[in-house]
Structure 1
Amino acid sequence: MIDRATLTPLAAEANRAPSTHNTQPARFALDAEGRILVLADLSRRLAIGDPTNRDMGLSCGAALEGLVMALAGRGLGAAVEDFWAEDAQWRPGYRLAARVTPGGDAAPSPLAAWTEKRFTWRGAFSPAPPETPASLEGWAGRRDDVAFAGGKDTLAFIAALNDEASLTVMRGRPFRDELVLWMRLSPRHPAYALDGLNLEALRMGRLEGAVAGTVLASPLFALADRLGLARTLVSEAGRTMTAAACLLFHRPQDESPVATGRAFYRFWLDFTRFGLAGWPMAVLADVPEAAETLRRRFALPANHRLVNVLRVGPAPVMLPKYRLPAGELVLDQPP
């Protein structure tokens, strides 16, 4: 029987999973039958960047997969029910994503060993061993939801497409305001070590962070754009070109976001085994023109949607995960 004391460390392990802007929207509660509810905290939704809540569903699905792995690590099986399509309110401000019934025996997942080693690297990658791209390509070729993109010309194509798509979305002031809301650009920010994107995660110094916050959250960005400077401000092409490869993650078009999020977390852990960090380019999936360009170039299945594109490569250092305290992740049943 799972009780709150047992659920709290399980929730902490589940919350190692990636989430959009490190919003960490997944919450956990026990129902009257001792089943674990996975809930989406709607106060952490991205109203501009994720108007359909799909990315929130993906983030909760990744945390759900982390929970299933955490249970398996304790020898417990898990029967999962996906409730995302029902758009059900658990209590005001929380959407029911899934329900997990622990029971039976389970062997630990081989991917669980990589959950602490998985992290996002937003800087230039270190050179990869010569055999890494070929190993990655072979691995991707054995999967039906990953397309490998390697080689200088291909990386340059994706880098340019990413920069163009990023400029498109960053031109929207509401999008920038929402992004800045989740950026922790000063160590004095009260949530600096808890959630969002802080200076270490963004690979920025204090002065660079202060300038970025000022420009993004003011009319200065529009002025820079009129002067032709905004493209340089958002460009990541130089760092993209240091990646060992890019991996295009795609899943069935009609798949639940929760199921997609579970698969996405397994995918990321799987390539972590190669000693690689990842850096998402979600904008390539979010901007329809960019997604269609990649679909055609890499011949993605017609019944699949592009979920994300990750730059992958060795990171010079390993970054810590900035996460909410475990006690904040577990909620009590409403009266």
Structure 2
Amino acid sequence: MSPEVFAALIADAALSPNVHNIQPTIWRQIDATTVAAAQASRRTLPVGDPTGRDVEASHGAAVEGFILAASLRGMEMRVTAPEGSEIARLIVTGEVDPDPLASFLTARRTYRGRFLPDRAVPILDALAQTAPDLTILRERPDIDQVAHLNDQASLKSFRDARFRAELLAWMRLSRRHPSWAVDGLNARAMEMSGLEAAGAGVVLKPGMFEFLDRLGLAGALTGEAAVVQSSAAIALLRRPIGETPFETGRRWHRVWLEMTRLGLSAAPMTVLADDRAAAEALAARFGQPPGTKLVTAFRLGLVPESALPPPARRPVSDLIF
């Protein structure tokens, strides 16, 4: 693995999904066949992700992305035990054909806007067959219920001033923000107009949010029900209770790439798994396979390719330690 190939693999792996687009994974080439992944300094979410579960899942997704990218170059890679402060080590073990999902690494995007009205029935049938750990909800009352639970759980989070401050720190509400195209959640990725972005910056500030909440307006301003209700389906991803967040992240990435391969766009609603009341309500209504837990829920649908936002990503030089 030459330094040039190593850099190309990082560039592809950096496109992996990660919480709030904080891009917590950095890389080091140990030798021609060995790579180490580690945690980037100050790229955590101590309020929104106090246990580090979502960041660890993001590392798993990035490592899976690196392995997939390596397969495109004919390299088979295996994850091995980390050393010191590393998250994982990856070792080239031989040659391999490209993974069928690898070519979709650069096409996957998070889409937070409204979907086209097409119900995408054949595509959803194919997804159900290829991803048995997904429960796919297609009926309108079921999607409406998920939309309601998502808004309820989100409002609980927004009522924590520390959570709002942390979120605002990763939001890029103006194109003039120096990190607009680098990391975090920019207004384009959040499907916000300039006016909506400016309004969000005001609404989420301390004092203003509490004032609007007392008036009963905060839920309407933070809710996503209309967007969720435009979905062709909701997919609940459930994984074994004992699975590590790192391994869950690897699977999360592959499931999302499978959606991309089939032509679907998606956005995760992880708050539904984080909020106990929401997770219990989903389990009560739709069942829960024994020994599993809800990891996230995806809203799914079709969008024109031109509607997918360009990814905001840090340069490769910032991702090498």
User: Is the 1:26–1:40 contact (alpha carbons within 8 Å) kept by the matching residues of 2?
Assistant: yes
SS in 2 for 1:307: strand
Q: Deviations over 1:238-271 (max 9, x none)?
A: 1111111010111111111111111111000101
Q: Are 1:74 and 2:62 counterparts?
A: no
* Corresponding residue number in structure 2 for 1:323: 313
Q: Deviations over 1:102-158 (max 9, x none)?
A: 121111011112122211111111122x4x235414532553311111111111010
* Corresponding residue number in structure 1 for 2:210: 222
Q: Deviations over 1:21-78 (max 9, x none)?
A: 1111111112368511111214110000001111111111111011001111111111
Alpha-carbon separation, structure 1, partners of 2:127 and 2:202: 43
User: Is the 1:26–1:41 contact (alpha carbons within 8 Å) kept by the matching residues of 2?
Assistant: yes
Determine which of 54, 75, 92 is the counterpart of 1:102: 92
* Corresponding residue number in structure 2 for 1:204: 192
Aligned-residue offset at 1:81 = 2.0
* Corresponding residue number in structure 2 for 1:40: 39
SS in 2 for 1:29: strand
State how 1:13-52 maps to structure 2 within 5 Å: 13-31=12-30, 34-52=33-51
Instruction: Could you tell me which runs of 5 or more consecutive residues in structure 2 were left unpaired when the two chains were aligned.
Output: none
State how 1:1-335 maps to structure 2 within 5 Å: 2-31=1-30, 34-81=33-80, 83=82, 90=85, 96-128=86-118, 130=119, 132-316=120-304, 317-331=307-321
Structure 1 residues 138 and 27: alpha-carbon distance in aligned structure 2, compared to 1, 3 A threshold: same
**2:256 alignment partner AA:** W
Structure 1 residues 215 and 296: alpha-carbon distance in aligned structure 2, compared to 1, 3 A threshold: same
**1:293 alignment partner AA:** A
* Runs of 4+, deviation exceeding 4 Å: none
The alignment-based identity, stated in percent, is 39
Aligned-residue offset at 1:89 = 5.0
User: Is the 1:7–1:330 contact (alpha carbons within 8 Å) kept by the matching residues of 2?
Assistant: no
What do you get for the CA RMSD once the two structures are aligned?
Answer: 1.6
Alpha-carbon separation, structure 2, partners of 1:134 and 1:155: 18
Alpha-carbon separation, structure 1, partners of 2:81 and 2:215: 49
Q: Name the TM-score, length of structure 1 as normaliser.
A: 0.91
Alpha-carbon separation, structure 2, partners of 1:143 and 1:119: 19
**1:146 alignment partner AA:** L
Alpha-carbon separation, structure 1, partners of 2:316 and 2:160: 35
Alpha-carbon separation, structure 2, partners of 1:320 and 1:41: 23
Structure 1 residues 154 and 182: alpha-carbon distance in aligned structure 2, compared to 1, 3 A threshold: same
Alpha-carbon separation, structure 2, partners of 1:60 and 1:192: 22
SS in 2 for 1:202: coil
**1:230 alignment partner AA:** A
Alpha-carbon separation, structure 2, partners of 1:222 and 1:32: 54
Alpha-carbon separation, structure 2, partners of 1:301 and 1:120: 27
Alpha-carbon separation, structure 1, partners of 2:262 and 2:6: 31
Alpha-carbon separation, structure 2, partners of 1:183 and 1:174: 14
Instruction: Could you tell me which runs of 5 or more consecutive residues in structure 1 were left unpaired when the two chains were aligned.
Output: 91-95
**1:326 alignment partner AA:** V
Q: Name the TM-score, length of structure 2 as normaliser.
A: 0.95
